[in-house]
Amino acid sequence: MRSATWRGRFTPLTLLLLLLLAVPLLIGCTTDVDSPDGWAGAVRAGEFTILQEKAGELVAIRLGGADNPGTADIDERVAWRFPGDGDDVDLDAVYASPILDGNTLYVAGHSGEVVALDLTFEPPQIVWVRDLDENIVASPAFDGRTLYVGTEAGTIVPITVASGAVGQPIARAGERIWSAVLLEGGALYVAALDKRVRAISPAGGTIWAQPTELSGAVPGDSALQGDLLVVGSFDRRLHALDAGTGAEEWVFDGDGWFWARPVIAGDTIYAASTRGSIYALNAGGSDASRVRWRFNQLDSEIRAAPVLAGGVLGVAAEEATIWGIDPATGDLRWSAPLPGHRFLADPLVLDSSLIYATTRGDLIEIDPQSGRAAILYERR
């Protein structure tokens, strides 16, 4: 294993601030919170963009055509809300990204309820509801037939979508699972708060498990491309693993926690820290040449995943600004200040725009080439 380090010292004040920061981040997803909020991103379903408008409640917004931003009556753009008055569903909050398969939307609520919705009806009709009796934060994996749901009990629970049948857990981690379950090449990749990463078979059984713990828990989504699995953790490190064996190829030390999902683009990894830094790292080579560039003009943590679109790297700081960065040089192309908005959810990447859902249930569109921002929907 090799290690690269971003050099710098933490003052006592900085350490105190990191400790204070840890409290709301750790509390925000635990099962004993009275009012969890959720941070699921928006999903596009035909003419609708679906997002969590407030905790545990989804709204479908019509965008485009006669319902362009600027329409006098915003309510005309609301197609439906779920759950409705007659729906016996309590999602509590939605952290996991909803999964769209044809005309069916699968939604996993923090409450432990997993719902299949038929979108051919307006409002959508419930196909089935299953209660796993465990809180859910992680986004499930889906192979077209089965949902693989990670829970806060540390289990991976399969649900056959045709019938809604819930199977026995196929794996169990030693701690809660917040990171999205990844499915690739016949293996499910699971990172948990027990500081371990595992590859398991969808049929059950371990393909590999790291023999030693990472030095920090894994809170956010990992990135996978080919044989490279990139995992961020609470130890301020980015871990590059061999997806076939679990062997640690290298470690990079940053200036903060790596919570946002990294982006792997060819031989470059883009990763953002909770200290507001964005790094471009070489996926291969030596530690001495690991860092291509570092951008740090953000006085805010980053939790939403950076994305490549329109020739720029789009990065949303939690507090009120979205940035467009040249992915080759790390130079700033544009910034879009959006006072009063907070960004935790990964954006929806469309052909010519990025769509961000804010923590209060608004929709904001960004032109990735110019940085022009428009509020598509504002919750009342």
Q: How far apart are CA 133 and CA 217, in angstroms?
A: 24
Q: Write out pLDDT tens, residues 248-264.
A: 999 999 999 999 999 99
Q: How far apart are CA 359 and CA 344, in angstroms?
A: 7
Percent of the chain's residues with pLDDT above 70:
87
Report cis status (omega within 30 of 0) of the bond before 368: no
Which contiguous run of DSSP H or E holds residue 192?
none
**The pLDDT of residue 73:** 55
Structure-block tokens of residue 21:
């920061």
Per-domain residue ranges for the chain? 2-377
Q: Write out pLDDT tens, residues 336-348.
A: 999 999 999 999 9
Higher-pLDDT residue of 85 and 66 is 85
Report cis status (omega within 30 of 0) of the bond before 123: yes
| Chain position carrying tokens 């064996």 | 245
Q: 2-377 belongs to which CATH class?
A: mainly beta
Q: C-alpha angle 49/327/336, rounded to 5°?
A: 50
Side-chain-side CA neighbours of 216 within 13 Å: the count stands at 19
